[in-house]
Amino acid sequence: MTLLDLSARDREGKAATAVRPVWDSEPLRYLDEHGAPVEGGIRPTPALLDPGALLRGYRALRFARAFDTEATNLVMQGRLAVYPSCRGQEACEVAAVHALEEQDWLLPTYRDSAALVLRGIPAVDALTLLRGTWHCGYDPKQWRTMPQCTPLATQGPHAVGLGLAAKLAGDPAVALCFFGDGATSEGDFHEAANSAAVYQAPVVFLVQNNQYAISVPLHKQTHAISLADKASGYGMPGIRVDGNDLIAMNAVLAEAVQRARTGGGPTLIEAVTYRVQAHTNADDAARYRQSAEVEYWRRRDPIDRLGRYLTARGALDAAVEAEIDEECERYCEQMRAQFAEEPSYDADEMFEHVYDEMTPQLKAQREMLRAEEAAK
Amino acid sequence: MSQGTEQISAPAAPLTMAKAINAALSDAMAEDDKVVVFGEDVGALGGVFRVTDGLAAKFGDERCFDTPLAEASIMGTAIGMAVYGFKPVVEMQFDAFAYPAFEQVFSHLAKMRNRTRGAVPVPVVVRIPYGGGIGGVEHHSDSSESYFAHTPGLHVVTPATVEDSYSLLREAIDSPDPVIFFEPKRLYWSKANVALPARTGRIGTAAVRRQGTHATLVCYGQTVPVCMAAAEQAAKEGIELEVLDLRSLVPLDDEAIESSVGRTGRAIVVHESVGFGGFGAEVAARIAERCFYRLEAPVTRVAGLDIPFPPPKYEHWYLPDADRVLDAVDRAMAAG
Ligand SMILES: Cc1ncc(C[n+]2csc(CCOP(=O)(O)OP(=O)(O)O)c2C)c(N)n1
Ligand SMILES: [Mg+2]
């Protein structure tokens, strides 16, 4: 018998208890679940509501979905070793990438492959690691995009370092760092948030609260009602936003990036969203959640919501949809072709990048491996 | 290197190791404005051992600054700054207080070059005061070098002389790879007449501190003076011991070890950290692999005991001293 029964939460995370009766802060949003402007919602600047810009966002959402779907197919065909899908979270991926300029740094997790391709990295490079090799497949400095980070929250301090470096160098660059909701329980999340605030580093912490960490729901991860509330403990603004509403996401990120860029320090954003797929292809989500819950969130799909909004305003019609369909199909076809053949793997290269200069010991091991290969 | 541009100053008075490390930091910062120093209490205080004394005043608090008490964040921030083009030199306040940064060191610092196929080197220097013998209470006397030496992607060095402390740190800061720089805190106040800037050899090279013919004492950090004392005593009895200061654990100078032990035919590996699974086991194994047929006696180790580092009243029992080394020498001499 516990004092506070946290299992009594509905699927949106509302706790119905005497001690903490309400989920007090509804996330900021512009669109309701049907894609209509919500009453009392945020009021974005006209630039953020520009139909051209929103159509660009819509295309990016569709593109992210197509990429994610294709990658999921590739893993089922054995072309990728593993793939964590971002289905349902595309508005977070798109808004994050679109909020950044070329000189800004992006720090993705394993969940954010879509953000890599949205940033311009070719799919075949972006998926190199998940294909089963030892390196990230692209030059992080060229793309200002760190390798996807797997040890949870450990990319946070790197974002602080990148941001602090930009600040000390006098560059107007910003670092945007993704986290999952589960990762907010890690020490590195706390250390990064605290340090960023102390240094007033130009960093945006974007938590995609997709409700689960593999099988563990958020209420077992934290006793807090809102992850954004944590920000006040660090002395930075914390914003809770509907992560399936691209317009709201764009507005919140634009403000946070602008604040960081102009010396206003870091911001913590909690984007409330949902992981529609299992954790990865290797996971079985039926063991820990109901399909009704998934259906509930499917009805709040970020693409449908923006699509309906744009359609109602005449910015999107069947012809444009068909055009986008075709673009996506062409991209996926290209992906399939690129992944049809296995690249060759060179054992020698395993030794080449451990140090700038190979140690005598590594040279000896490389020789051993070469001799083993030659004897085969 | 950069010796040409630096003024070589004759030492007015003997220099302590702490001051020599301070001079290395100061010279590196003066030479390259990408070198930044940060950690706990390194600013106004100059570090708990005063190794960063005066740097904040001299270079400003954007070049030398205090951090929140967050070792993982210190390490991760250094990684991010190195990616951006800086050369961070971070201080872990004490050996055991580097443990919170382990994940950043092992999963990122050591692997970043490799996992980016060489595109993102991270030239971070991590300074760690280590070891016992200063009467530190618990958590202040660990020798944690094996954990780091076991991790591919890191260089691990530790000076034993004042001159090397300057030189190795300059080499570490010049290195395009991460270097874990272990400072033997018992030797912080050891003194020598040295002319700075000194360069005593590249990372990866060992140094023969005393030549001998009967046996080789392989040592590093705080056990180098211990071995020198043992060698002096042994010489009085007509036993000439060679003292080989590894100073670089990674990369390891296999050739120097082989050349010495191959000649003397006897090897005693001496270090202060726990013996079981310790760095001496690696050295002993490599000697066995390379010198077996030239050995006159089994390779032995003189190391710390397999217990958590003991409190001040007990540490004299723990720390390898000249007598314990000489006992091992006696056994080796008796064997062949
Ligand atoms: C330090 C660490 N512990 C455990 C894991 C194993 N792990 C990988 S993903 C994951 C769940 C993370 O959940 P969340 O942060 O919510 O991100 P999501 O997967 O939902 O995007 C776990 C436990 C890990 N990668 N790193
Ligand atoms: Mg999650």
Q: Where in chain A is the domain with CATH 3.40.50.970?
A: 3-345
- Find out if CATH 3.40.640.10 is the number for domain A3-345: no
CA pair distance A121, A127, nearest whole angstrom? 10
Assigned CATH topology for domain B207-335: Rossmann fold (3.40.50)
**Residue of B68, B72, B120 with shortest CB distance to A188:** B72
Q: Please say whether the beta carbons of A83 and A280 come within 8 A.
A: yes
User: What are the residue ranges spanned by the domains of chain B?
Assistant: 6-193, 207-335
Phi, psi of B230 (to 5 degrees): -60, -40
Same fold? B6-193, B207-335: yes
Task: Determine which residue's CA is closest to atom 18 belonging to ligand 1.
Answer: A180
CA pair distance B224, B218, nearest whole angstrom? 8
For residue A151, give the ligand 1 atom closest to its CA.
26
Q: How much is the pLDDT for B10?
A: 55
Question: Given an 8 Å threshold on Cβ–Cβ distance, is A188 in contact with B104?
Answer: yes
Q: Please say whether the beta carbons of B265 and B294 come within 8 A.
A: yes
State whether the beta carbon of A275 lies less than 6 angstroms from ligand 1: yes
DSSP assignment, residue B196? B
Q: What is the pLDDT along chain B (336 residues), one digit of tens a residue?
A: 344 444 555 556 799 999 999 999 999 999 999 999 999 999 999 999 999 999 999 999 999 999 999 999 999 999 999 999 999 999 999 999 999 999 999 999 999 999 999 999 999 999 999 999 999 999 999 999 999 999 999 999 999 999 999 999 999 999 999 999 999 999 999 999 999 999 999 999 999 999 999 999 999 999 999 999 999 999 999 999 999 999 999 999 999 999 999 999 999 999 999 999 999 999 999 999 999 999 999 999 999 999 999 999 999 999 999 999 999 999 999 986
Is pLDDT above 80 for A5? Answer: no
> What CA–CA distances, in Å, run from B116 to A63, A85, A138, A146, A175?
26, 23, 7, 9, 19
Is pLDDT above 80 for A6? Answer: no
Q: Please say whether the beta carbons of A160 and A196 come within 8 A.
A: yes
**Residue of A159, A191, A354 with shortest CB distance to B152:** A354
CA pair distance A319, A144, nearest whole angstrom? 35
Question: Given an 8 Å threshold on Cβ–Cβ distance, is A157 in contact with B72?
Answer: yes
CA pair distance B223, B160, nearest whole angstrom? 8
Contacts of A135 in chain B (CB under 8 A): 114-117
CA pair distance A229, B323, nearest whole angstrom? 61
Through-space distance between the first and last CA atoms of chain B, rounded to whole angstroms: 46
Which of A29, A33, A97, A11 has its CA nearest to residue A60? A97
The nearest CA of chain B is from the CA of A193 a distance in Å of 9
Q: How much is the pLDDT for A274?
A: 97
B108 in A contact zone (CB under 8 Å): yes
Phi, psi of B16 (to 5 degrees): -85, 165
The helix/strand/coil state of B274 is: strand
Is residue A157 reached through a cis peptide bond, with omega within 30 degrees of 0 on the bond before it?
A: no
Per-residue pLDDT tens over the stretch A87-144: 999 999 999 999 999 999 999 999 999 999 999 999 999 999 999 998 999 999 999 9
Superfamily classification of domain B6-193: Thiamin diphosphate (ThDP)-binding fold, Pyr/PP domains (3.40.50.970)
State whether the beta carbon of A212 lies less than 6 angstroms from ligand 1: yes
Lookup result for tokens 């991209």: A331
Per-residue pLDDT tens over the stretch A207-262: 999 999 999 999 999 999 899 999 999 999 999 999 999 999 999 999 999 999 99
Q: Please say whether the beta carbons of B101 and A187 come within 8 A.
A: no
DSSP assignment, residue A35? S
Is pLDDT above 70 for A7? Answer: no
DSSP assignment, residue A212? E
The nearest CA of chain A is from the CA of B285 a distance in Å of 14
A198 in B contact zone (CB under 8 Å): yes
State whether the beta carbon of A214 lies less than 6 angstroms from ligand 1: yes
CA pair distance A326, A320, nearest whole angstrom? 10
Out of A152, A184, A189, A211, mutate this one to test ligand 1's pocket (max ligand atoms within 8 Å of CB): namely A152
Lookup result for tokens 């390490």: B75
Per-residue pLDDT tens over the stretch A167-208: 999 999 999 999 999 999 999 999 999 999 999 999 999 999
Average pLDDT rounded to a whole number, residues A340-369: 95
Catalytic residue among A20, A190, A219, A288: A288
Greatest Cα pair distance in chain B: 61
Q: Please say whether the beta carbons of A268 and A236 come within 8 A.
A: yes
The nearest CA of chain A is from the CA of B241 a distance in Å of 27
Which of A192, A202, A109, A115 has its CA nearest to residue B84? A202
Residue A6's CB is within 10 A of a number of other CB atoms, namely 15
CA of A274 to the centre of ligand 2 (A): 8
Contacts of B114 in chain A (CB under 8 A): 134-135, 353-354
Residue partners of B169: CB distance under 8 A and separation at least 6: B21, B24, B25, B28, B125, B127, B159, B181
Tokens for B181, please give them.
Answer: 């720089």
Q: How much is the pLDDT for B12?
A: 61
CA of A355 to the centre of ligand 1 (A): 29
- Kindly report the average pLDDT of chain A as a whole number: 93
Alpha helices in B209-313 (DSSP H): 223-236, 254-264, 279-291
- H-run or E-run covering A161: helix A155-169
Question: Given an 8 Å threshold on Cβ–Cβ distance, is B204 in contact with A195?
Answer: no
DSSP per-residue string spanning B120-151: -----EEEEEE---S---TTSS---HHHHHTS
